[in-house]
Amino acid sequence: MLKTYRYSSLQAPDFERLLARNTDPSRNIEQLVTDILEDVKTNGDVALKKYAEKLDRVQLTQLYLTAEEIAALASTIGREQQRALEIAFANIYRFHETQLRKERAIETMPGVKCWREPRPIEKVGLYIPGGSAVLPSTLLMLGVPARIAGCKEIVVCSPPQADGKINGYIAYCLQLLKIDRIYLVGGAQAVAAMAYGTASVPRVDKIFGPGNQYVTKAKSLVQGLANVSIDMPAGPSEVLVIADGSANPEYVAADLLAQAEHGADSQAILVSTDPYLIDGVQTALKVQLAQLPRATVAEKALANSYAIVCGDLEEAIAFSNRYAPEHLILETDNWEPLLRKVSNAGSVFVGHLTPESAGDYASGTNHTLPTSGFARSYSGVSVDAFVKKITFQHITTDGLRNIGPTVEVLAELEGLQAHKNAVSLRLASIS
């Protein structure tokens, strides 16, 4: 099922091909998304309702649900499901609440004090995918750190279901997060609505959330077109599993399929030091795939995936760092020495009993992570993503005497006389 390569046989063009994903060489996706952005910018709610009918196959008279409608939908789910969402909420909150730390002021020289203070981004937009799979877990992953950060306005967009509403699980998460409105908008048009604002959907300062290639492209475009910030390029989803002879092939297959069932454009990569393990995984994939309700989707993703045989775990980590996976799973008894060698990954799952599914739902870490190699330069979502850190400084009389002459010299050598004067006038007045 997975095409297999040998690391030692790969040439530069092979690496380039294997590392590439979420590409748009013909720019068809970019053109389509650009047209949607312009349509929503120009026509607002009319465009959003048109896309709901065309893409979601539902006619909407109102583009949002109220608190009362959310409460009614939340009441339809069972207590077991409520409890699971509550536990996930609590664990995610517990992990993220430690991230909002107060930094101490630093005296860089006598009388010169500098410090930083966090301030929440006032208006944030959360995109919750809802196409082939509805993801209430993503709402918790984004909503919890937004709440901890203290964002004043949290705008949530998610595609409408066939009945023109949302499912009860997302509704219950909205209640846990104390969010009393959700906008029934999906895809690139949701990103456009939050970037430009419409009569119904407020404009936001920063857009968060994973999505397919269209959503990801829309997020990248609105940064320049609408001067709105984004969390990161997030989607389509991917996993890379490093496994040796100590791994259980059934576990490995299950982890690969857990990623593959996200969407046909997902990618699941196996890197192993043991060819026999790869054979076992291939067999387990066939057995487990046949039992999945989303087998067709997962099979398409596997066709876009592969396995690599490496000489040792050093080579395996080297390939992983070049690939820079969204999710990295280390299924080996000898995982501890590998941790310090991981330089590019969104989130790492360590050992045989740590499935990526745990992080997707309830361990506490965030599952909104950089994809397509952007783990080389981006971190996953955290409370930090929802705040700005503003620097402050205060200079006393002694501080100005200490630092003033240095600033005068530096301003003069750069030829900026007014900069020098701002210091010189003050020095003259205090002397």
Q: Which residues are part of the catalytic machinery?
A: 326-327
Residue listed under structure tokens 């280390």? 330
Residue numbers belonging to the annotated binding site for substrate: 237, 259, 262, 327, 360, 414, 419
Residue 73's SS3 state is helix
| Sign of the dihedral through C-alpha 59, 64, 69, 74 | positive
Residue numbers belonging to the annotated binding site: 127, 189, 212, 237, 259, 262, 327, 360, 414, 419
- In the 8-state DSSP scheme, what is residue 235? -
For the chain, the maximum distance between any two Cα atoms, rounded to a whole number of angstroms, is 84
Residue numbers belonging to the annotated binding site for Zn(2+): 259, 262, 360, 419
CA angle 136, 137, 139 (to 5 degrees): 65
| Element housing 37 (H / E) | helix 28-43
Q: How far apart are CA 232 and CA 385, in angstroms?
A: 10
How far apart are the two ends of the chain, measured CA to CA in Å?
Answer: 80
Residue 193's SS3 state is helix
349: β partners: 329
**Peptide bond preceding 202 in cis form (omega within 30 of 0):** no
- In the 8-state DSSP scheme, what is residue 286? H
